[in-house]
Amino acid sequence: MLPLVTSITENSGYFLLGTHTAIGADDPATQPAARLLASYLQTALGAAPPIRDAGSIVLELGSTGSENPEAYRLTVVPDRVTLRAPRPDGLLRAIQSLRHMLPAEALRPASGSRDWKLNAVDITDEPDLAWRGVMLDVARHFFDKAEILRLLDLIAFHQLNVLHLHLTDDQGWRVPIDPYPRLIEVGSVRRAAHEGEPGIPPGRASGPAHRGAYSHADLAEIVAFAAERGILVVPEIDMPGHVQAAVAAYPELGIDPAPVPEVWPRWGINDLLLNPTDTVAEFFENVLAELMRIFPSPYIHIGGDECPTDRWAQDPQIVTRAAALGLADVSRLHGWFMGRMARFVKARGRIPVGWDELAGADPGTVVMAWNTGAGIAVRAAEAGHPVVLAPSDRVYFDLYQSPSGEPRAQKGVITLADAYSFDPRAGRWGADLRDSVLGAQCQLWTEYVSDRDQLDYMLFPRLCAFAERAWSGGAADFDAFQTRLLPHLERLEALGVAFRLLDGAEPQTGK
Ligand code: ACM
């Protein structure tokens, strides 16, 4: 199994899954899980099995001896499969483990009408970390609803439970905010930029013109599809930097309204920040209010990363404003602005999340720790912030996967072994700061990822390594992981995932 389960006992005999199989779910609270299981088994069997009060695959709520909200027990004996969990989310995890136990061929769409053997086992399982996330940047390159639904199903297959959508950045704004239609009309379209154009240094070309945005209906469908799989969709609006698309749409949000900037057709860190005034803060509070109507997630991500404040420091009005607010210097306006956004989110009963730059801005904000240097993550935890570990030297899957022969990617290398060496319980995270670790998250920034095949190539199999570290905990045995990975890659192949081949592996053909 991948991720590795907590305990497994293999018994003799097998259960025969076939068109005669019915799902038994007599408790209404198990019905959503039963419907999800039926939809997966439709792929394997050619027809969805009926859901009845009694059946040979039984879903039931009840104790498994663990308090973990996602714990489950999966028992296969020759005449019955039992999925038991204290909470419905545990049933959803048991369903994914059941899929892992099927032959890989049973995962292939339209695998046809036939019987499949499930070997007799008794599994008990639960995750180590509560937040097991994947971030997808849909601002640099847009991935439409169909691609997000496909990714959600792959996330679920790996027992991950958070999809963090990075919805806005300098290069694009992808979420409709009713009071401000130009955020989409202007902010979701980026002109083509090519190496050698004025202002585009060599190596900074950002490819062809690009556009895309979700509708409210798309986002409702994404949220519902995720919830069916026990996945939370956490939306992010990045601010007060990474905002050039918003400023292109509404120039009054920026420091200097003339000349109006365009949606940024380049990559890199931008020194264009919001003007930190009350009016601009209110605009972004209105954005967050609308975001909270669209996304029911208890967590709302407010960004906060990479804000060089030089242009603030050069603006006399902003210098005066910082002084009037009693701030020691203009750089403190970042904390002022982010603290206000965090309080706005909290006042509406949600929990703010931000990148580690906003540690200290507001206690209670979840800090997503991406910077690896100078003990930033530890200091955030010491200051009382819950932490989601997202270190850029282990779980940034936009970096190269090997030192040579790779398609263009972000500078730096994270091999599969590097990804698997990520230990969210290392050092103090497993000791005095253990309770500060809300979870862990891998990131896919998409400057160099523009389509599904590239997305698959960058995420898989590194995401498999991350998923196991986040779910299974314990000591990392990379050799044992690689042994489990081989049959798992057959599953991914059956699911149509264009994963990167393991080093030394022959390309698979015609399977
Ligand atoms: C980040 O990588 N700027 C969070």
How far is Cα 329 from Cα 120, in angstroms, rounded to an integer?
66
**Distance, CA 305 to ligand 1 centroid (Å)?**
6
Structure tokens at 291: 């975001």
**Between 335 and 198, where is the model more confident?**
335
CATH superfamily, domain at 131-483: Glycosidases (3.20.20.80)
Pocket probe mutation, ligand 1, options 305, 338, 357, max atoms within 8 Å of Cβ: 305
Residue 205 has pLDDT above 70, yes or no: no
pTM: 0.96
Residue 348 has pLDDT above 80, yes or no: yes
Condensed to tens digits (0 to 9), the pLDDT of residues 479-507 reads 999 999 999 999 999 999 999 999 877 65
Mind giving me the DSSP string for 321-355? Answer: HHHHTT-SSGGGHHHHHHHHHHHHHHHTT-EEEEE
Q: In angstroms, what CA-CA distances link 76 with 7, 20, 39, 126, 406?
A: 14, 17, 20, 18, 43
Say yes or no: CB of residue 393 within 6 Å of ligand 1.
no
Mind giving me the DSSP string for 50-111? Answer: PEESS-SEEEEE---S---TT-EEEEEETTEEEEEESSHHHHHHHHHHHHHHS-GGGGSTT-
Tell me what pLDDT residue 1 has.
Answer: 87
Q: Which distant-in-sequence residues (6+ apart) come within 8 Å of 370 by Cβ?
A: 305, 355, 356, 390, 391, 392, 396, 443
How far is Cα 464 from Cα 1, in angstroms, rounded to an integer?
11
Across the range 462-486, mean pLDDT stands at: 96
Q: Which distant-in-sequence residues (6+ apart) come within 8 Å of 470 by Cβ?
A: 3, 127, 128, 129, 132, 160, 424, 439, 440
Q: Indicate the fold that domain 7-125 takes in CATH.
A: Chitobiase; domain 2 (3.30.379)
Atom of ligand 1 nearest to the CA of 306: 3
Say yes or no: CB of residue 370 within 6 Å of ligand 1.
yes
Tell me what pLDDT residue 511 has.
Answer: 36
Tell me what pLDDT residue 197 has.
Answer: 65
Condensed to tens digits (0 to 9), the pLDDT of residues 68-101 reads 999 999 999 999 999 999 999 999 999 999 999 9
How far is Cα 196 from Cα 207, in angstroms, rounded to an integer?
12
Q: Are 265 and 209 in contact (CB under 8 A)?
A: no
Say yes or no: CB of residue 305 within 6 Å of ligand 1.
yes
How far is Cα 141 from Cα 150, in angstroms, rounded to an integer?
16
Condensed to tens digits (0 to 9), the pLDDT of residues 371-424 reads 998 799 999 999 999 999 999 999 999 999 999 999 999 999 999 999 999 999
Atom of ligand 1 nearest to the CA of 445: 2
Atom of ligand 1 nearest to the CA of 390: 4
How far is Cα 508 from Cα 128, in angstroms, rounded to an integer?
34
Tell me what pLDDT residue 510 has.
Answer: 38
Condensed to tens digits (0 to 9), the pLDDT of residues 8-40 reads 999 999 999 998 999 999 999 999 999 999 999
306 is catalytic: yes
Tell me what pLDDT residue 506 has.
Answer: 61
**Distance, CA 306 to ligand 1 centroid (Å)?**
7
Residue 109 has pLDDT above 60, yes or no: yes
Atom of ligand 1 nearest to the CA of 368: 4
Tell me what pLDDT residue 509 has.
Answer: 47
Structure tokens at 492: 């991914």
Catalytic site residue from 169, 236, 356, 362: 169
Across the range 293-313, mean pLDDT stands at: 97
Tell me what pLDDT residue 206 has.
Answer: 65
**Distance, CA 468 to ligand 1 centroid (Å)?**
23
Residue carrying structure tokens 């979420």: 175
147 is catalytic: no
Tell me what pLDDT residue 199 has.
Answer: 65
Q: Which of 142, 60, 40, 55 is nearest to 101 (CA)?
A: 40
Pocket probe mutation, ligand 1, options 243, 306, 338, 366, max atoms within 8 Å of Cβ: 306
Say yes or no: CB of residue 306 within 6 Å of ligand 1.
yes
The CA angle 220-225-229, to the nearest 5 degrees, is 145
Residue 470 has pLDDT above 70, yes or no: yes
**Between 249 and 1, where is the model more confident?**
249
Span of 205-214, 266-275, 343-352 with lowest mean pLDDT? 205-214
How far is Cα 12 from Cα 510, in angstroms, rounded to an integer?
34
Q: Whose CA is nearest to atom 2 of ligand 1?
A: 370
Residue 45 has pLDDT above 60, yes or no: yes
**Distance, CA 445 to ligand 1 centroid (Å)?**
9
**Distance, CA 396 to ligand 1 centroid (Å)?**
9
How far is Cα 15 from Cα 300, in angstroms, rounded to an integer?
44
- Percent of the chain at pLDDT exceeding 70: 96
**Distance, CA 390 to ligand 1 centroid (Å)?**
10
Q: Are 263 and 322 in contact (CB under 8 A)?
A: no
334 is catalytic: no
Condensed to tens digits (0 to 9), the pLDDT of residues 228-242 reads 999 999 999 999 999
Residue carrying structure tokens 């670790």: 437
Pocket probe mutation, ligand 1, options 165, 167, 355, max atoms within 8 Å of Cβ: 355
How far is Cα 62 from Cα 94, in angstroms, rounded to an integer?
13
Condensed to tens digits (0 to 9), the pLDDT of residues 136-184 reads 999 999 999 999 999 999 999 999 999 999 999 999 999 999 999 999 9
**Distance, CA 370 to ligand 1 centroid (Å)?**
7
How far is Cα 497 from Cα 154, in angstroms, rounded to an integer?
9
Most confident of 107-116, 205-214, 461-470: 461-470
From the CB of residue 122, how many other CB atoms can be counted at a distance below 10 Å? 15
Say yes or no: CB of residue 153 within 6 Å of ligand 1.
no
**Distance, CA 447 to ligand 1 centroid (Å)?**
12
Residue 340 has pLDDT above 80, yes or no: yes
Reduce the secondary structure of 111-156 to three states and give it as a string.
CCCCCEEEEEEEEEECCCCCEEEEEEECCCCCCCHHHHHHHHHHHH
Catalytic site residue from 210, 242, 334, 488: 242
Domain residue ranges in the chain: 7-125, 131-483
Could you give the residue ranges of the DSSP H alpha helices within 229-277? 244-249
Q: Whose CA is nearest to atom 1 of ligand 1?
A: 305
Structure tokens at 280: 């601009």
Atom of ligand 1 nearest to the CA of 370: 4
